[in-house]
Amino acid sequence: MPELRPIAGWQTVPIAECGEPLVALHKYQGRNMTVRPQYFTQGYRSASFEQEIRSGVFERLLLAAHALPADYRLVIWDAWRPVELQQEIYNRFYQQLSQQFTPLSTEELAVLCQQFVALPSADQAKPAHHHTGGAVDVTIMDDFGQELWMGSGFDEFTEKSHTRYFEQEENCRTERDKEAQRNRRILFDAMTSVGMFTGLDTEWWHFQYGTQAHGLLTNQSAWYGVPSAKKERSAA
């Protein structure tokens, strides 16, 4: 697995919105891909069972899913996110940090929180990653519906969730560690080599295409901003 660049400064990448529509992922579930909406399952008030993604991202998800071994299936945990849900996720994690790091000031907690959760934003110049419809959280499951061991869980914001954590020799000593390393490599390779996504250095499950973060990592402009349908809904 290659070294991964951090995405600090992604908000400065220009956006040339392409106008691609969002598509509903549940309509296209099949042998190679399924949807398990994590925030809906966890009871977030602003979360929806239905998951939407940009049509171009959907096409690349299909490519990545077909690149997996025959007995594996790509699992979509989260895709397009309304600002309200992003705010809810941010608030919940901020509260967890405030209980864990009581000596920190409000400003210090905010800085720490934003290392793991993007600041909620519908600003058309710097929308949150998932609000563009170009970011997706994924994992892999086997033929029995069991999600593969990846070494940490969804939204487990610890060092173990860093994408290359098990690439470090000191972190990959047991058979369980090596299993997580293999599974992360399978997922990363399918998503980046075949699907042409870019990943995050801090979250093994997060991938993006066409977003400002993707543009930063690939040295180009972004082509996904706030989807037009969502702009209209916000203005209504």
Q: Please, which residues have CB within 8 angstroms of residue 173's CB and are 6 or more apart in sequence? A: none
The dotted CATH code for 10-80+127-235 is 3.30.1380.10
pLDDT of residue 89: 95
Pairing of strands 72-78, 52-54: unpaired
Domain ranges (residues) in the chain: 10-80+127-235
Q: Please, which residues have CB within 8 angstroms of residue 116's CB and are 6 or more apart in sequence? A: 93, 157, 202, 203
pLDDT of residue 232: 44
First to last CA, the chain: 45
pLDDT by 10-residue block (mean), the chain, 236 residues: 94 97 89 94 96 97 96 97 95 92 90 86 91 98 97 93 97 98 98 96 97 98 90 46
Backbone angles phi, psi at 52, to 5 degrees: -120, 155
Question: Given CA atoms 208, 202, 80, 42 in this order, what sign does their dihedral have?
Answer: positive
What's the predicted TM-score (pTM) here? 0.94
